[in-house]
Structure 1
Amino acid sequence: MLAQEESGALAASLDELKAYLRIETEGEDAVLAGLLRSAVTLCEQFVGQWLIVRGAREIVAVTGEWQRLGARPVVAIEGVEAVDGEGVMQPLPVDAYAIDIDAAGDGWVRSTRADERRRLAVRYRAGMAAEMNGLPQALRQGILRLAAEHFIA
């Protein structure tokens, strides 16, 4: 189970979208911001990566095998905790688990100890860029155009 700990910043600015649409008033700002968020989500689903870096918490099974984390590209794995049957989390010593981030940005985790715990809670950060100006211009332009198309439709 993957949960975002914080929402990512917009991958394109409201001002850029308004300029693209040639809108000078503020009456449509809420609608346009919603369309930008929707376009970012669609883009992330299409490319299979989070655009703006944000925190995540994921629960994975303890099998002794490497488990791939759901969000990518992973930039940091911040912590691993054991989750007992009642959902209580307990920090694990460093030698109780192994972590890795491969060249493709996939994050991996595995338990190195067999015990009664069945799940691990992994805290990590994933995303292509720290802020919108770090994204490839083609992605930003695509997000703007998609949001604009949805506004016009």
Structure 2
Amino acid sequence: MMLREETAPPAGALPVGALRDHLRLGSGFEIAADAAEDAALAGFLRAAIATVEARTGKVLLTRRFRMQLDDWRDRLGQPLPLAPVIAVEKIEIDDGAGIVTELGPEAWRLVPDGQRPVILPAGVILPHVPRLGSVAVTFTAGFGADWADVPADLAQAVIMLAAGYYEDRSFEGSKAMPFGVAALIERWRQVRVLAGRGGRGMR
């Protein structure tokens, strides 16, 4: 499976002010509100968001993704690797010989479950994917376009993690998740099945 993020959260949606206030409260020192410092804080926030999303499978700020599979994992229903999914924009089947066919909405439906969204067939099974072909799903996922839309515990986890990255520049490369952050995101974590069928492998 390949999963590509096609859009990124706009800089204006990042809680730079909230992170600056958190750092000031923790240190007692004011963090300069200049362009260079804001860019640095935004970078730490993006890193923290990516970490929290990777650990939970939840997309915090709305954006578009493209998932490509060698084949459906199960023709009775294909789980999506991220949640919450707002909409599936298109599904395309490539026959491996240069012909790409877009599946009309009459062939499938989205079940937008908060934990495991899934694409179900409109009929009995999802359409056949040729052996040398692939299927691509373009979808939009996220809690919302604004930081206020992010659940409070996940938002706080991002702020705490970004503050740790800021205060200890070597911390960003650490594999250890701080206990407080891990506790905040625990209820959002899930075991995710991402790949296509085992017989076709992953790429």
TM range (shorter): 0.7 to 0.9
Alpha-carbon displacement from aligned partner over 1:36-80 (angstroms, at most 9, x marks no partner): 111111111222211111111112314633221112111111111
Report the equivalent of 1:33: 42
Report the number of matched residues: 152
> 1:115: Cα distance to partner?
6.2
Alpha-carbon displacement from aligned partner over 1:84-113 (angstroms, at most 9, x marks no partner): 214553222344x32322433533235633
Identify if the C-alpha distance between structure 1 residues 9 and 139 changes in structure 2 by more than 3 Å, giving closer, same or farther. Answer: farther
% identical equivalent positions: 29
Report the equivalent of 1:13: 15
Matched, 1:119 2:134: yes
Contact 1:9 1:132 survives alignment (8 Å): no
C-alpha separation in 1, matches of 2:97 and 2:20: 49
Matched, 1:46 2:55: yes
Deviates more, 1:58-67 or 1:109-118: 109-118
State the Cα RMSD in Å.
2.5
1:85-124 to structure 2, matched below 5 A, reads 85-86=96-97, 88-95=99-106, 97-109=107-119, 112-114=126-128, 116=130, 118-124=133-139
C-alpha separation in 1, matches of 2:53 and 2:129: 37
> 1:135: Cα distance to partner?
1.2
Report the equivalent of 1:55: 64
The residue identity in structure 2 corresponding to 1:3 is R
The residue identity in structure 2 corresponding to 1:24 is A
Choose the corresponding residue for 1:81, options 75, 78, 92: 92
C-alpha separation in 1, matches of 2:18 and 2:129: 53
Identify if the C-alpha distance between structure 1 residues 150 and 64 changes in structure 2 by more than 3 Å, giving closer, same or farther. Answer: closer
Identify if the C-alpha distance between structure 1 residues 148 and 87 changes in structure 2 by more than 3 Å, giving closer, same or farther. Answer: farther
Contact 2:111 2:117 survives alignment (8 Å): yes
State the SS of the aligned residue for 1:18: helix
Report the equivalent of 1:142: 157
Contact 2:88 2:138 survives alignment (8 Å): yes
Q: Which protein has greater RCO, CA pairs closer than 8 Å, 6+ apart?
A: 1
Between structures 1 and 2, the one with greater strand share: 1
Structure 2 segments unaligned to the other structure (5+ residues)? 24-29, 169-203
C-alpha separation in 2, matches of 1:23 and 1:123: 40
Identify if the C-alpha distance between structure 1 residues 115 and 39 changes in structure 2 by more than 3 Å, giving closer, same or farther. Answer: closer
C-alpha separation in 2, matches of 1:107 and 1:87: 30
The residue identity in structure 2 corresponding to 1:128 is F
